[in-house]
Amino acid sequence: MKKLAALIFVLVLFASAPPIQSRDVDITPALSEKVINRLREKYIPMYKKYQGVESNRQVEIKTYNEKTSKLLSTENVHLIRKEYFYKKPEVEVLKYVVDGKKEKVSKYKPLKSRPGYHVFDESGDINYETRVVGYKTIAEHQCYEVDVTAKKATKMHYQGELYYRVDDLKLVFSSGSIGKISFPLKGLRADLIFDNINDLTVVSSGVISARVDIPVIFPDRRIISRIKVLKNTPIF
């Protein structure tokens, strides 16, 4: 089950979603196309310049009985994760605590699967339909709301909304899931908050809720995962 928990928090990071306010202005197809093209121009070079990001992070994973809402366990992990754009990550676990009891770090098994398809790299338009659907004010930033739909949804695809600042097109927030929900997942939703190191976009915090159901072994559980990133470092 530790490996399953790792699958859940790989998308995640520590804070509640920032306040979002709508702006009642129509987005024309021409404006949407213009913004999408600018996003591609901005982010394709990022995926070429950097290999990824190294993050020093703290992770909290709480598991609940979905039917009774009873808290079943709390895991706290401190780790360093080298998250690459196009290859499997490298993970060093520094500390692992389960229900207040310190465990051997070897007992925690982080997921090390290949990353999913990126929305605005060179292959983004092959994998996704993207369009600007409106404006939102997020944490005092005026943003474009970009709807992302996978052309052929799989667990490697993203599906949801991305929010980019109008003035500089920096990504500030995402709210979505994976393209295809399949066993053992019954539901998944992640809200991520982003920061920037020069021209590199990095996750700073977020929260995810996942429903997992493996009869007998892990029946109908709600897993709430939070991560707080202490430090991000670019990988060239």
Tokens of 205: 């915090």
pTM, two decimal places: 0.88
Q: What is the pLDDT of residues 4-44, one digit of tens each?
A: 444 444 444 333 456 555 555 679 999 999 999 999 999 99
- The amino acid present at 43, given as its one-letter code, is Y
Q: What is the pLDDT of residues 41-56, one digit of tens each?
A: 999 999 999 999 999 9
Partners of 221 in the β-ladder: 65, 212
Q: Give me the phi and psi of 7, to 5 degrees please.
A: -60, -40
CA distance 91 to 137: 35
Taken in order of first residue, the domains within the chain and their CATH numbers are 2-235 (2.50.20)
| pLDDT band for position 136 (cuts 50, 70, 90) | very high
